[in-house]
Amino acid sequence: MTSIQLNNVSLVYRLFEKLTLSAPGRRRSALGGNIAKSGTKQVVQALDDVSFELKAGDRLGLVGPNGAGKTTLLKVLYGIYQPSGGTISIAGKVDALFNINIGFRPEATGRRNIVLRGLISGWTAAEIEEKMEEIIDFSELGDFIDLPFKAYSQGMAARLAFAAATTLEPEILLMDE
């Protein structure tokens, strides 16, 4: 059964450049997260003790100010970032729409990128081939599908990313603005 379960998930990462808050009266909380020192290093506590459970059919919307950790949480769920603490259990095929360039190669054609995106998402070559024309039709790219991805406008790239992510019908779809 499709599900996501997070138990006490935290993510701490190191800052490689020292942040300064030079504006008078500016509070650190306005940046989101918690900037702290760990020995001689500055770190950000991007996620702190996040727990929830979602089952098939559930939907979750994340609302908060810039820097609150919304995108970071989605990237942890997709496996881009490994949490510093806690546990994550995900059952089901996951795909994501964070950045239209993720999973796409600029030099490859739209058609080839559909194949690559599908393979990265765990689909078989046969499943991808079966859905290829449906993805191309839904994207409305027509003959542009055989041009390199780097030649696409932002709108064309977004339509291809959305068509590939939704036509391959992931059990869990993570989306960011």
If you write DSSP's letter for every residue of 112-163 in order, what string do you get?
A: HHHHHHHHHTT--HHHHHHHHHHHHHHHT-GGGGGSBGGGS-HHHHHHHHHH
φ/ψ (deg, to 5) at 102: -65, 125
pLDDT of residue 31: 45
Look at residue 36 in the predicted model and tell me its pLDDT.
65
Q: Can you give the pLDDT at residue 50?
A: 95
Written as six digits, the tokens of 139 are 């994207």
What was the pLDDT predicted at 22?
Answer: 55
Residues in the chain with pLDDT values less than 50? 25-31
- Give the predicted TM-score (pTM) of the model: 0.70
Distance CA 28, CA 111 (A): 46
Structural domains of the chain sorted by starting position, each given as residue range(s) with its CATH number in brackets: 3-92 (3.40.50.300), 97-175 (1.10.8)
CB 50 within 8 A of CB 11: no
Place of tokens 């059952």: 91
